[in-house]
Structure 1
Amino acid sequence: MTNDPHPASLHTPLCDLLGCNLPVLLAGMGGVSRWELAAAVADAGGFGMLGMVREDPALIIQEVTALRSVSGRSFAVNLIPAATEPALLEAQIACCLELDVRFFTFFWDVMPDIVSRVKDAGCTVLHQVGTVEAARQAERAGADVIIAQGIEAGGHVHGRTPVFELTDAVLSQTSLPVVASGGIVDGTGLAAALAMGASGVQCGTAFLATEESYAHPYHKERVCAAHGDDTVLTDVYVLNWHKGAAVRVIANSQTGALGGRYLGHDPDTLPREPIARDEGQPRLRFSTDSPLRTTTGDLEAMALFAGQGVGDISEIVPAARRIADMSAQADRLLRGPVLTDQDVPI
């Protein structure tokens, strides 16, 4: 730990742009990144995000209101235009603008009209991408920050390039702040990202396994017990999305039954079989829904999202502690010997 919760060695211009003290972003994990977790990350010095993909505007109002009632820190709302019906997406954006949300995070396909819609309202746009070409598209569309997502990431994974390789390639193509995302769970990853010129990191798995996350305790426990090689990249959990949209999950009975054929599944051929429920709504066996606090049913068979850095997460802690430990470790590394390739997590 460190006496200074916000070491100067970690401050980057991204912090000034986003209004945070540390260049550590909470991933906009749908269902998991609710107000309690976003507030905890923001109040600890990081940048919070609300994962609101395909959520009803009423929930967005509820979450934004709750977040603002406990924290005055800045935050973003994460939406995924390509996975959202156009009328609902428009209602979501209109709702956010009415609430005076100032930061948006988008993911998957770059949709210039959507970026322009919120930029014209004076908002700041962070866009997560999985390829250099998508990064170029996001910059042309007007994004202010590029989040380079590597193949190590948990949840939906758009590209197939390791995080630091992609981050380096994107850095060579843009003058925008670039955030590294994918398998980064501790100060080693944060220090490595900053040392190579990135402006910060985005973390999902590290914050899923915290007291404030909205993930089901079972999901958190599986994260703490897993190793990096326990995760698989598969498109069998594809219902609610489109064909070929791969996710990284902790291996379970469903992935074990695939016989090693993790990719190439057609959602039209998958059964629509309810195996769980969440506040009265059915959750299908091969849907992208992960188990939340409110979920009941066959949790083991659901999508247990986790990145390849999962092996370095062994306990469920408050989000503030995870950030403090991460920043203290990164500060020590950046003030010590120069990082080598062996210090970069893979």
Structure 2
Amino acid sequence: MPHTLHTSICDLLGCRYPILQSGMGGVARSELAAAVSEAGAFGCLGMVRETPAKILEQIDEVRARTDKPFGVNLIPAATDPELFNAELDACLSAGVETLVYFWDIVPDAIKRAKDHGCRVVHQVGHVDAAVQAEAAGADAIIAQGVEAGGHVHGSVSSLVLLPQIVDAVSIPVLGSGGFASGRSLVAAMSLGAQGIQCGTRFLATDESFAHDIHKQRVIEAAATDTLHTDAFAINWPPHSPVRVIKNEVTERFVERPFGYLPEDFEREPIAEEEGRPVYLLSTDSPLKSMTGDLEKLALFAGQVSGLIHSTEPAAKVVQRIVDEALVALNELANRIPR
């Protein structure tokens, strides 16, 4: 492996390249996580609010596909405590070595994982949260900029947030939000990051469990075609902003993207997944297992969608990022007078 791309996050997580795949709930299942890890990056299962049985099944499937390290993404603050405890128990009983948490810092969730010898990587959107996560025992921080797709916890761009968090903590930091290429990996490293996390780029891969409708919309979208809004709130705590691709549903939110969903909002089923109703303005995104009016669901995607023009195998995405990063580093070296 080229020395220039080996960072401390590679040593911590056991991966070859400093590229993490975001644990996108529903989308990041065993096929995607395994493909990313097998390619030398770090795959992650998105198991938010899944049953313990489902989590154990997915862990077994990843291990059947690859012997490379991978993680599991859970969200303590956005999951019923009883379910979260059962999810965590399942991960720990299965010997998961890395857990990736997101949203508000829950020190007990970090402590429980650490007490069982598990590494914890915590994604945050604020400097204060990064400091709190480190104090609670986290091993690494993912600094998520407002450009990111899906749930977005902050309001500052990656370019500004990343170096602030790097300066505020002593543990490795990864950049997330706007990163999908080798050039962006080099940019993140120049800001002090030890690597990057990519979500939208891996959503539009062959192995992703996202529905083809969702993948196609990502491919077609420009950077200006996304909306930052808290309208898609069913299943999550109130006022939890997301970034989605604009559709006919979001037209009513363009002028007023925040504070729309009233507490007495009447749920309207517009799709279904194996007998489970999927509601308008829920945080469910279109998956391969769903049927119905999928175009009206939350089409999660970051502004980096403007750089994505086709679906392809996850391994090809990883290799392109690595190759581009090495070219970018070489070009930078050649520009510096000796």
- 1:146 counterpart SS class: strand
Per-residue displacement from partner, 1:35-92 (whole Å, max 9, x unpaired)?
0000000011100100000000010011000000110011111000111001101101
2:83 to 88, 91, 94: 88
Supply the distance in 2 between the matched residues of 1:338 and 1:234 (Cα, whole angstroms): 41
1:185 is displaced (CA, Å) by 1.1
Q: Judge conservation of contact 1:41–1:47 (CA < 8 Å) in 2.
A: yes
Change in Cα spacing, 1:263 to 1:164, as seen in structure 2 (3 Å) is same
Change in Cα spacing, 1:339 to 1:106, as seen in structure 2 (3 Å) is farther
Q: Judge conservation of contact 2:227–2:254 (CA < 8 Å) in 1.
A: no
Q: Which residue of 1 aligns with 2:207?
A: 212
- Consecutive unaligned residues of structure 1, counting only runs of 5 or more, are 1-5, 341-346
Supply the distance in 2 between the matched residues of 1:68 and 1:11 (Cα, whole angstroms): 24
1:265 is displaced (CA, Å) by 2.1
Supply the distance in 2 between the matched residues of 1:258 and 1:223 (Cα, whole angstroms): 20
231-240 or 327-336: which moved more?
A: 327-336
Q: Judge conservation of contact 2:31–2:62 (CA < 8 Å) in 1.
A: yes
Q: Which residue of 2 aligns with 1:168?
A: 163
Q: Which residue of 2 aligns with 1:26?
A: 21
1:101 to 96, 100, 111: 96
- 1:296 counterpart SS class: strand
Supply the distance in 2 between the matched residues of 1:238 and 1:193 (Cα, whole angstroms): 31
Q: Judge conservation of contact 1:48–1:76 (CA < 8 Å) in 2.
A: yes
Change in Cα spacing, 1:267 to 1:124, as seen in structure 2 (3 Å) is farther
Supply the distance in 2 between the matched residues of 1:108 and 1:259 (Cα, whole angstroms): 25
Q: Which residue of 1 aligns with 2:150?
A: 155
Q: Aligned letter for 1:187?
A: G
Q: Which residue of 2 aligns with 1:256?
A: 251
1:190 aligned to 2:190? no
Q: Judge conservation of contact 1:7–1:327 (CA < 8 Å) in 2.
A: no
2:110 to 102, 111, 115: 115
Q: Judge conservation of contact 2:229–2:253 (CA < 8 Å) in 1.
A: no
Supply the distance in 1 between the matched residues of 2:133 and 2:231 (Cα, whole angstroms): 28
Supply the distance in 2 between the matched residues of 1:77 and 1:189 (Cα, whole angstroms): 25
Q: Which residue of 2 aligns with 1:337?
A: 332
Q: Judge conservation of contact 1:179–1:199 (CA < 8 Å) in 2.
A: yes
Supply the distance in 2 between the matched residues of 1:117 and 1:22 (Cα, whole angstroms): 28
Q: Aligned letter for 2:51?
A: D
TM-score calculated relative to the size of structure 2: 0.97
1:269 is displaced (CA, Å) by 3.6
2:175 to 171, 176, 180: 180
Supply the distance in 1 between the matched residues of 2:67 and 2:9 (Cα, whole angstroms): 18
Q: Which residue of 2 aligns with 1:3?
A: none
1:202 aligned to 2:189? no
Q: Percent identity?
A: 50
Change in Cα spacing, 1:297 to 1:71, as seen in structure 2 (3 Å) is same
1:183 is displaced (CA, Å) by 1.6
Q: Which residue of 1 aligns with 2:315?
A: 320
Structure 1 runs of 4+ with >3 Å offset: none
- 1:16 counterpart SS class: helix
Supply the distance in 1 between the matched residues of 2:265 and 2:187 (Cα, whole angstroms): 41
Supply the distance in 1 between the matched residues of 2:99 and 2:55 (Cα, whole angstroms): 13
- 2:301 counterpart SS class: coil
Q: Judge conservation of contact 1:236–1:265 (CA < 8 Å) in 2.
A: yes
Q: Judge conservation of contact 1:129–1:158 (CA < 8 Å) in 2.
A: yes
Q: Aligned letter for 1:35?
A: S
1:259 is displaced (CA, Å) by 4.8
Supply the distance in 1 between the matched residues of 2:248 and 2:261 (Cα, whole angstroms): 19
Supply the distance in 1 between the matched residues of 2:183 and 2:157 (Cα, whole angstroms): 16
Q: Judge conservation of contact 1:127–1:146 (CA < 8 Å) in 2.
A: yes
User: Alignment RMSD, CA only?
Assistant: 1.3
2:121 to 106, 126, 132: 126
Per-residue displacement from partner, 1:188-233 (whole Å, max 9, x unpaired)?
1111011222000000000000000000011000000100000000
Per-residue displacement from partner, 1:126-155 (whole Å, max 9, x unpaired)?
000000000000000000000000000000
2:239 to 226, 239, 244: 244
TM-score calculated relative to the size of structure 1: 0.95
Supply the distance in 1 between the matched residues of 2:208 and 2:90 (Cα, whole angstroms): 24
